[in-house]
Amino acid sequence: MGNIIAFDLGASSGRAMLGRLVDGKIEITELHRFSNDPVQVGDRLHWDILRLYHEIKQGLLIAKNQGIEVDSIGIDSWAVDFGFIGSNGELIGNPYHYRDRHTEHMMEKLFAQLPASEIFGRTGIQFLQFNTIFQLFALKQANSPWLQEGNRFLMIPDLLRYFLTGEMHNEFSNATTTQLYNPVQGGWDKELLQQLGLPESWFGEVLQPGSKAGMLQPSVCDELGISSIPVYAVAEHDTGSAVAAVPATDRSFAYLSCGTWSLMGTEVQEPVINDMAQQLNFTNEGGVEGTYRLLKNIMGLWILQESRREWEKAGKKYSFPELVQMAGAAKPFAAFIDPDHPMFLAPGDMPARIAQYCAETGQQAPETDGEIVRCILESLALKYRFVFEMTERLSGQAFNGLHMVGGGINNTLLCQWSANAIGKPVWAGPSEGSAIGNMAVQWIAQGVFADIWEARQAIRDSFPVVEYKPEEQDQWGQAYDRFVQLTGLLT
């Protein structure tokens, strides 16, 4: 019954995924996969937004050529990044990548003007140097012409939707990640915008996930030779879509969306905005059906992806399964890093940065590539325990296990080590979390599912979930004590 397409754009690749419901079960097929290569121009790191738009149209064309009639589409991507539309209705410039260095030191600079506690109190969003608020502040400091010429502010999926439909809307889950949205007032925070000198007129009405956000415009239909179809605003922040797809049965659940980033937390009905949340630097990102994700960003598999890129430059080409095998064969618990140290944020030579981190913390640096991979994966698993326990403390809940979704679950060693580190079972699946959550919201909008819990039931019935039981508890417990000491996390 019905065909829908979820366009899911990740930090390294994008996909057009076809979703169908057959006898109440969800079936997904990859129609199109394309790379998403950031482009460095001089000092600036950009997204290749027009290429992404081209690939979305390719996805529609592939569906057409396969004779698939598509009922609707939705787009999700990473958060925080944006572009400006000028008075002629065209995009100004190429959006910056959130890993661009122009936001370095912008947090401290802005806090001198506007206290962190006020920003957190108004938005409930964790402080990350790449949040939209700091990107806009950096553009102001640099006197960017975008700010003079821009008429409308659109985030990445908003922009792509605009190219497809000709309609400009800001979607809720992504809007919250700007750190300019006030979840208590339920709209853009006008005072915050004013204090930052950002015109209110840039920011449009905020659409909830599941709203119809337009139809494919005639020029797109003509170009592709297809009929017009509805475009839905889904949870356009990929993490929002991934969490929508968590096949939980218990309404109180902990999740880890595992990909380039590791996003760990729980779903709450109301944002948790208090001193403890600010101190622990947790966020309250908007989700589906008025929920919030009380979570924390963990640097994730990015450090491994960048290491792999570095090794490739040196002529050593490893597949991900090879990397996992190398880690498995290396000596356990030899060295640890805090994956969230700012030194690991920007693209670059991660093995060298790991060596530097070890030197600074009095540890012997891992030497072989296998030892480096082991150091990254063990450190991630140990950081998961740290954040898991914080989530429990902050939400006042005790979780009986951890749901892992996203491509990172294909790394079975990481799943097992995560269970070992937290001392509770890990339930891994589905790996296509964001795409499935994107589809779920489209089906809810079409009335196929009554709500997100009915959709989660269908997801549970449709995709395998693998359970990993905790093992080697003594060794992991001891390793954790050393990890928190070495990384200085408790100080």
List residues near ligand LFR by CB under 6 A. Answer: 11, 78-80, 98, 237-239, 260-261, 263, 297
Report the 10 Å Cβ neighbour count for 459.
27
Q: Residue 363 Cβ, how far from ligand LFR at the closest point, in Å?
A: 29
Cis? peptide before 430, omega within 30° of 0: yes
Residue 240 contacts by C-beta under 8 Å, 6 or more apart in sequence?
A: 76, 173, 174, 209, 285, 286, 287, 288, 293, 437
Helix intervals (H) in 153-216 = 156-165, 172-176, 190-196
Q: Residue 244 Cβ, how far from ligand LFR at the closest point, in Å?
A: 13
Catalytic residue among 238, 338, 340, 369: 238
Q: Residue 153 Cβ, how far from ligand LFR at the closest point, in Å?
A: 16
CB-wise, 150 or 408, nearer to ligand LFR?
408
Q: How many helices (H) and strands (E) does the chain have?
A: 19, 22
Tell me if 28 sits within 8 A of 435, measured CB to CB.
Answer: yes
Catalytic-residue membership of 238:
yes
Residue 356 contacts by C-beta under 8 Å, 6 or more apart in sequence?
A: 343
Burial of 111 (0-12, 13-18, 19+ CB in 10 A): middle
CA atoms of 165 and 267, how far apart (whole Å):
32
Q: Residue 97 Cβ, how far from ligand LFR at the closest point, in Å?
A: 10
What is the bridge-based pairing of β-strands 426-428 and 402-405? Answer: parallel
CA atoms of 287 and 236, how far apart (whole Å):
9
Q: Which of 259, 256, 267, 273 is nearest to 468 (CA)?
A: 256
Handedness of CA 119, 125, 128, 133 (dihedral sign): negative
Q: Residue 162 Cβ, how far from ligand LFR at the closest point, in Å?
A: 19
- 481: which 2 tokens? 């004590």
Q: Which residues of 142-166 are buried (b: 16+ CB within 10 A; e: fewer)?
A: eebebbeebebbbbbbbbbbbbbbe
Residue type, 219: S
Residue 23 contacts by C-beta under 8 Å, 6 or more apart in sequence?
A: none
Query: Residue 316, SS3?
Result: coil
CB-wise, 283 or 416, nearer to ligand LFR?
283
Q: Residue 483 Cβ, how far from ligand LFR at the closest point, in Å?
A: 23
- Cα dihedral 229/233/235/238 (nearest 10): 60
Q: For residue 362, give Cα distances in angstroms to 307, 330, 406.
A: 22, 20, 34
Q: Which of 329, 258, 335, 267 is nearest to 297 (CA)?
A: 258
Q: Residue 78 Cβ, how far from ligand LFR at the closest point, in Å?
A: 4
Length reported for the chain: 491
Q: Residue 406 Cβ, how far from ligand LFR at the closest point, in Å?
A: 9
Query: Residue 199, SS3?
Result: coil
- 477: which 2 tokens? 């417990």
The catalytic site residues sit at: 238
